[in-house]
Structures are given as C-alpha cells and as structure tokens.
C-alpha cells in the first residue's frame, strides 16, 4: 500500500487546507498516515535503536528484574510474550517472540529504568518528539477539547518493541504481532529497523507492518522503508470518541525468515482514567464496553483500558 505522507510544516500551519484534506482522507479511508521532515526525528530514532539493542543483549535474568508486577496493576517495564490475539481460525495465539519495554512519556515516578544501559534518555527524547507531533495531528482531526479530550490530560505511553529472530521456521505463529486494534486514542510508530547477526539489513519482502485499510478487506503491507517518516494509526478510543467518524486501524506484524530481528517504538495516546464518554459507536457493542459501562451507557477511559488489557493479556495454559 502506498503511504500518504504530509509534511511537518503543513501540520504546523493548519490553515493549509489541501494538506488537511489529504490527512483526513488518509486517516478516514486507510487508517494510517506518514509525517515527513520532523526536525531531529531520524537522529533520535537512531539513538533509541542503539540503546534498545544494547538492552536486548542483556541476559534474560537481568531484563526480568525490570518486569512489571501485573498483579498489582503495573504495566511499566520489560516483558516477553505477554500478549495474545485471535488468529484467523479464531484461536488465541501468543506473540511469543515479542518483547516490550513500557514507560510513560514524559518521565513519571512509576517508570522503571534499567541501570545497565541508558535506555531512559533516548526513549524519552524520541517519545516526547512523537507525543508532541501527534498532538498536532489530533488537533487537525478534531480530537481535542471539542470532543472532551483536553490535550493537557492526554498521557503518552511509550513501548520499546523487540521482535526476536525466529529460530524455527515451522513455528505455528506466522506473526510477530497478531492482528488487533490498539485500544487507546492514537498510536505513533517509528519505522522498524532489522538486523541479521548484528548487521542492519533492509526490511525483508515478506515481513513488517500490515494494515487492513478502513475501506478494504485484505491486509496490505505498508511501505515504510524511508526511516525519516513517522507513522500514525487510529486507536479504538479515537473511534469511540469520534462516534465512528474516524475508525481504528486493524494491523499486524509479519515475521521475517532467516534469523532476522526487528526493533521499533510505539507511542500510545491515552486519555486520563476518569475521562467519561457516551458515544454512538459500534464499539459500544463490544463486550469490553458493554460489561464496563455505567448505568446511563457512558464509560470511562480507565475501564475501557482495563478491559482491553484483560482481554489481550495471554493466560497461562491450564
Ligand atoms: Fe498495535
């Protein structure tokens, strides 16, 4: 799929009508848009990738020291193979090769940071750049105070993603990340970097991010070879709060063959837990909504998020 791209300059000058119409068409018809010419984006992504690789090379037992205590509701820190999604046959499949490191952006007392590697500095610098750029995009799309989403009350949640190389080509799960929608408002995504035996390689033909266009039926690969372009997708809370005007983006990540690993970074836009909405959206039929709504049919962001975590958190087989 051809990616629609607008420039950072056009985003800063929202009176530039043609660019805005282009942006709106991209997000409404496809569910993804690229932003080019963001100052310092590429250098910050490079610095982050270096730190993420450094961290990923630490021994497992060291990385596990930074695991969140999910039992008390923590999600910050490192984890491997913690999510599952339904495959095409309707069976839950664990993303067993997907490692994550979560932290709030900007920094927050709840964040855990490794002592062995300075992951914190490049993670936060890249995260804040994406967070601030995306707010311009949210504004341009009308996702702001006008729909009850004050930008001061938005939370950025960063996620380091390290997709481990596939040692067994017959592995049952063809995806590094199974098909799903993000549950938040919006998601910023940097282009992925690939490595074989420690050397950077191009994205393999078969691998990478695929999305199902909002107005399409089949998953299509996103051409994201230009490392200077920041991507944005729509999350389910963005769909809820816009009454389905903007639809969430269904996406997946296909594995590469031949011992290749993949690194990327996602920045999720969350509302604050007490943001209350009462939308007219098909997502109100979803059990996450139906089971957590208040008597008058409204729901808080916190409940929506908690129900989403519960659904997609892999359960240990009995
Ligand atoms: Fe996602």
Q: How does residue 252 score in pLDDT terms, banded at 50, 70 and 90?
A: very high
Ligand 1 centroid distance, CA of 183 (Å): 8
Other C-beta atoms closer than 10 Å to the C-beta of 109 total 5
Helix 17-29 and helix 120-140: axis angle, to 10°? 100
Q: Determine the pLDDT at residue 168.
A: 58
Q: Which residue has the higher pLDDT, 91 or 299?
A: 299
Ligand 1 centroid distance, CA of 159 (Å): 10
Nearest of 219, 214, 218 to residue 239 by alpha carbon: 214
**Range of lowest pLDDT (87-96, 129-138, 270-279):** 87-96
Q: Report the distance separating Cα 18 and Cα 16, nearest Å.
A: 6
Report whether pLDDT(36) > 80: yes
Over residues 99-104, mean pLDDT: 96
At residue 135's C-alpha, the angle toward residues 137 and 274, to 5°, is 125
Tens of pLDDT, residue by residue over 7-25, are 999 888 866 667 788 888 9
Q: Where does the chain have alpha helices with state H?
A: 8-12, 17-29, 41-56, 60-64, 120-140, 236-241, 287-290, 301-312
Ligand 1 centroid distance, CA of 101 (Å): 14
Backbone angles phi, psi at 28, to 5 degrees: -80, -35
Ligand 1 centroid distance, CA of 216 (Å): 18
The answer to whether 186 and 137 are in contact (CB under 8 A) is yes
Ligand 1 centroid distance, CA of 251 (Å): 6
Ligand 1 centroid distance, CA of 70 (Å): 20
Could you tell me the two tokens for 249? 């983006």
Ligand 1 centroid distance, CA of 103 (Å): 16
Structural domains in the chain, CATH included, are 5-73+86-274 (2.60.120.330)
Ligand 1 centroid distance, CA of 205 (Å): 20
At residue 216's C-alpha, the angle toward residues 130 and 83, to 5°, is 55
Ligand 1 centroid distance, CA of 236 (Å): 11
DSSP 217: S
Tens of pLDDT, residue by residue over 144-171, are 999 889 998 899 999 999 998 877 555 6
Q: Report the distance separating Cα 66 and Cα 101, nearest Å.
A: 9
């Amino acid at each position: 799929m051809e990616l629609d791209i607008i420039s950072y300059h056009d985003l800063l000058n929202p009176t530039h009508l043609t660019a805005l119409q282009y942006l709106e068409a991209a997000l409404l018809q496809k569910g993804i848009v690229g932003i080019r010419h963001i100052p310092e984006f590429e250098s910050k992504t490079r610095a982050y990738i270096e730190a993420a690789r450094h961290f990923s090379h630490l021994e497992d037992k060291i990385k596990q020291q930074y695991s969140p205590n999910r039992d008390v509701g923590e999600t910050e820190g490192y984890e491997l193979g913690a999510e599952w999604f339904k495959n095409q046959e309707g069976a839950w499949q664990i993303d067993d090769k997907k490692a994550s490191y979560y932290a709030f952006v900007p920094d927050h007392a709840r964040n855990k940071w490794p002592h062995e590697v300075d992951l914190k500095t490049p993670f936060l610098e890249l995260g804040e750049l994406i967070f601030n750029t995306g707010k311009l995009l949210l504004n341009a799309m009308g996702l702001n105070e006008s729909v009850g989403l004050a930008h001061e009350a938005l939370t950025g949640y960063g996620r380091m993603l390290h997709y481990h190389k596939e040692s067994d080509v017959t592995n049952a799960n063809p995806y590094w990340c199974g098909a799903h929608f993000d549950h938040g408002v919006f998601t910023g995504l940097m282009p992925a970097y690939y490595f074989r035996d420690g050397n950077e390689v191009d994205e393999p033909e078969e691998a990478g991010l695929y999305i199902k266009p909002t107005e399409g039926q089949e998953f299509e690969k996103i051409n994201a070879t230009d490392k200077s372009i920041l991507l944005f997708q729509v999350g389910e809370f963005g769909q809820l709060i816009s009454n389905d005007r903007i639809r969430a983006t269904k996406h997946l990540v296909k594995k590469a063959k031949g011992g290749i690993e993949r690194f990327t970074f996602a920045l999720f836009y969350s509302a604050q837990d007490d943001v209350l909405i009462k939308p007219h959206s098909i997502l109100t039929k979803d059990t996450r909504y139906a089971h957590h709504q208040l008597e008058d049919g409204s729901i808080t962001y916190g409940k929506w998020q908690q129900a989403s975590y519960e659904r997609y958190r892999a359960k240990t087989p009995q």
